A and B are shown apart, each in its own frame.
Chain A
């Protein structure tokens, strides 16, 4: 995982308000050389959270980036080379990312961060909550009671829905707007 990706990712654990930047736990870092494109670097500069990049590059053992940077420094070839190296050539190959609020650990294996969440860590946004609600329930019943007929499954689901509406809190989302959580 490049530090550019790290600079975009935020912790996705439910309830976390400021999940950026993720902490870095290093086991192995690899360097892969890529061609430098000044245009790309100049364009991306304004979108980068500089402090997060500096901290991340130090975490993976590269201490050449200055603490502060502004757009005028992009004229310097030396600065561009360092910026390029930190942003695109250093890869966190093995290790983990850490949520700054909850400390939740997201393992990184073969350069791929695993950001899958457990059921109780997921916050579903309101946009798709009605659908995912029924869907989640249906999947649950498929898994558990495959011997039941479709009609029986529907009855089970209706009973389950009644239970959740009376228990005040929706099991699957915390939006407070959907029928199940009302």
Chain B
């Protein structure tokens, strides 16, 4: 599948109608989502025929992109039942098979490194300090091949240090810097739309 095609398909998905700020629900835009999964597949072969988990899946954009690129088994995990309902609907509309589990990512307990690849757009930890690190730590325990994640560029050194020193990563690489456009979603947003610089990371867990 071509990048443009993928972007078009995930661009048609429904987004949150009532996003919850305590969960930092910001939808992953089709531009970022398609590039993230396209890179994972075409540069590293981490998607097709693999087991892929989408942590904090929200309305399910990243998981849907993985399924479209031929992942054998996709699992979306989110704590919010409304988000899961939307994700479920989105998967039905795209006619892709995706499994969902309702769980707080930091309370997950899985048997060993049972997933090949984790993709995620974690909460950036602006509302709940350390939420991004909880996601990263858990994903590196569960993935056997690679973790793809977005983190604010301003936290780059912190993310690298934490991943390599504390969280079981054998390598941590910034694949590219992207602009995450945050539309005016919440009441406390004063500007119409803001661009946040984010890094697309690829982490490789230790075995």
Residues 78-120 (chain A) with a chain B CB within 8 angstroms: 88, 110-117
A116-B104 in contact given A2-B73, A10-B111, A128-B137 (Cβ < 8 Å): yes
Within 8 A of B (CB), among A29-69: 32, 34, 37, 39-40, 43-44, 47, 49
B114–A47 contact, CB under 8 A? yes
Q: Which of B68-123 contact A (CB under 8 A)?
A: 72-73, 75, 79, 81, 84, 88, 97, 99-104, 106-112, 114-115
Partner of B129, one of A19, A47, A88, A135: A135
* Interfacial residues, chain A to chain B (CB-CB below 8 A): 1-2, 4-5, 7-12, 19-20, 32, 34, 37, 39-40, 43-44, 47, 49, 88, 110-117, 122, 124-125, 127-128, 131-132, 134-135, 139
Which single residue of chain B is at the shortest CB-CB distance from A47?
Answer: B114
Is B24 part of the contact surface with A, judged by Cβ < 8 Å? no
B49, B114, B137, B166 — which one has the most chain A CB atoms within 10 A of its CB?
Answer: B114
Q: Give me 24 A-to-B residue pairs in the complex whose CB atoms sit less than 8 angstroms apart, sorted by A's number.
A: A1-B99, A2-B73, A5-B75, A7-B114, A8-B110, A8-B111, A8-B114, A9-B110, A10-B111, A32-B97, A40-B72, A43-B49, A47-B114, A114-B103, A115-B108, A116-B79, A116-B104, A117-B104, A122-B107, A124-B106, A127-B133, A128-B133, A128-B137, A135-B129
Say which residue of A5, A7, A44, A122 sits within 8 Å of B99 (CB atoms): A5
For B128, the chain A residues whose CB sits under 8 A away are 135
Question: Who on chain A is nearest to B134 by CB?
Answer: A128
- In the A-B complex, the 6 residue pairs with the closest CB atoms: A131-B130, A115-B103, A8-B114, A12-B109, A10-B109, A114-B102
- Tell me how far the C-beta of A80 lies from the nearest C-beta in chain B, rounded to whole angstroms: 14
Interface size class of B (residues with CB under 8 A): 20 to 34
Shortest Cβ distance from residue A173 to the other chain B in the assembled complex, whole angstroms:
11
CB distance A37 to B49 under 8 Å?
yes
Q: Which residues of B contact A (CB under 8 A)?
A: 22, 49, 51, 72-73, 75, 79, 81, 84, 88, 97, 99-104, 106-112, 114-115, 128-130, 133-134, 137, 166-167
**Chain B, Cβ-Cβ closest to A49:** B111
Q: Give the distance in Å from the alpha carbon of A116 to the alpha carbon of B108 in the complex.
A: 9
- For A4, A43, A127, A131, which residue has the most chain B Cβ atoms within 10 angstroms? A127
Instruction: List, in ascending order, chain B residues with CB within 8 A of A110's CB.
Output: 88
From B22, B73, B109, contact of A4 by CB (8 A): B73
Contacting residue for B110 out of A2, A10, A122, CB 8 A:
A10
CB distance from A18 to the nearest CB of B (A): 10
- Distance, CA A115 to CA B111, complexed state (A): 15
Check A115–B102 contact: CB distance below 8 A: yes
CB-CB under 8 A from B97, the residues of chain A are 32, 34
Complex Cα distance, B7 from A112, in Å, reads 27
Cα(A43)–Cα(B114), bound, Å: 12
Counting chain A CB atoms within 10 Å of each CB, which of B109, B112, B137 scores highest? B109
Nearest CB in chain A to that of B128: its residue: A135
Q: How far is the CA of A2 from the CA of B22 in the complex (A)?
A: 31
